[in-house]
Amino acid sequence: MKRAGKSWGIAVFASANAIRKYTVEELVDLGVSWIWMGLESPKSHYTKLQGTDTRQLTRELREHGIPVQGSTIIGLEHHTRENVGDEIDYAVSHHTDFHQFMLYTPVPGTPLFKEMSEQGRMLDNVDLADVHGQHKFNFQHAAISRDDSKRFLDWAFRRDYEQNGPSLYRMCQTTLQGWRRYKDYPDLRVRERFAREAEKLRTTYNAALWVMEKQFREVNRSVCEEIRELRLEWKENSARPRESLPAWEVRFFCGRRAVRNGAWLLAAPTSPRPFSSAATGRRCRPER
C-alpha cells in the first residue's frame, strides 16, 4: 500500500509496552489512527504497564494526532472504598480522548470465573444479561459492595467528563494537533490522511464545538475556555471556506430534550458527587 501511494488509517488495541516498541513517527507512517490501551494504576502490577509512563505516552500520541481510548478496570482486588477514588483520578489524569471504565467481572468460561467460583465468591441470582461490566459486581468483592460498585463506576465517567470535557472536544483537539504537525509532511499519504480527518473540523465538528463551548460553561469554565480557543484556532488556521452546519441545526439534531437533560456529548449538568463533599471539598464514601 505504501509503494502504491495509498493513504489509510487503522485502529489498534495494544498495551503500553507494545506501543513503546515503536516511535510515534513509525506509528504515524504505519497509518495508526486510533489506539485502545489499558490504563491501570501502578498498584495493579500489570507487566504490560511496567516501566512505561502511560501519561507521557498518551500525551505524546495525542500530540501526533493519534486519538487514545483509555480503558480502566474498577474493582480490582487491591481496590477499597478508601483508595478507588484516587485510582479513578489517576486514570482521569491521562486526558485520553475517550475513556472506558469497566467493572472487574468474572465471566463464565474464564479462569477468573473458575477461581471465584471455587472461592465461593460468585453471587447468586445475577442475570447473565447484566454481566457486562457496566452495571454492578456479579461477585463478592472483599472491600466494595455491589451497590457501591455502580456508584463508583458512574462517578468515574462523570469525573472524567467534568475534568477533561466532552470526548468529542478532546478528539477534535487531537485532530487539530495532528493536522498542525503533519499538514506539510513530506509523505503525501500521511498528509492526505490528516487532511481527511481534519475535514470534519471544518464542517459538523465546528458547529458542535460552538455548542459545547456554550453548554459546558456551567460545568467547567476552564475547559469551556479551552474549547473556545480550539474552535478559534481552527477558524484562523483553516484557509478553506467554511460550510459548517449552523449551531441551531446541531441542537435540533441532538434533540432539545437530550441537551436539556444532559447529553454526555454536549453538556451533562453537574450534580453532587457521590464520593465528595461540595461544601468541604473532601472526598467521602457512601454509607455502608
Per-residue pLDDT of the chain (288 residues; tens, 9 = 90+): 778 788 889 999 999 989 999 999 999 999 999 999 999 877 776 666 667 899 999 999 999 999 999 999 999 999 999 999 999 999 999 999 999 999 999 999 999 999 999 999 999 999 999 999 999 999 999 999 999 999 999 999 999 999 999 999 999 999 999 999 999 999 999 999 999 999 888 878 888 999 999 999 999 999 999 999 999 988 887 645 444 444 444 443 344 333 333 333 443 444 444 554 343 344 434 443
The pLDDT of residue 10 is 94
Nearest CA to 235 among 201, 274, 212? 201
What Å distances lie between residue 202 and 7, 172, 250, CA to CA?
20, 11, 14
Sign (positive or negative) of CA dihedral 86, 53, 69, 96: positive
- Please write down the long-range contacts of 264-268, taking CB distance under 8 Å and 24 or more positions apart: 264/157, 264/161, 264/166, 265/166, 265/167, 265/168, 265/208, 266/166, 266/208, 266/211, 266/212, 266/215, 266/216, 267/166, 267/212, 267/215, 267/216, 267/218, 267/219, 268/158, 268/161, 268/219
Nearest CA to 264 among 274, 276, 254, 272? 254
- Sequence-distant (6+) residues with CB within 8 A of 221 are none
Nearest CA to 173 among 100, 229, 214, 99? 229
The pLDDT of residue 263 is 39
Inter-residue contact 164 to 95 (CB < 8 Å): yes
The pLDDT of residue 47 is 66
Beta bridge partners of 98: 69
pTM of the model: 0.80
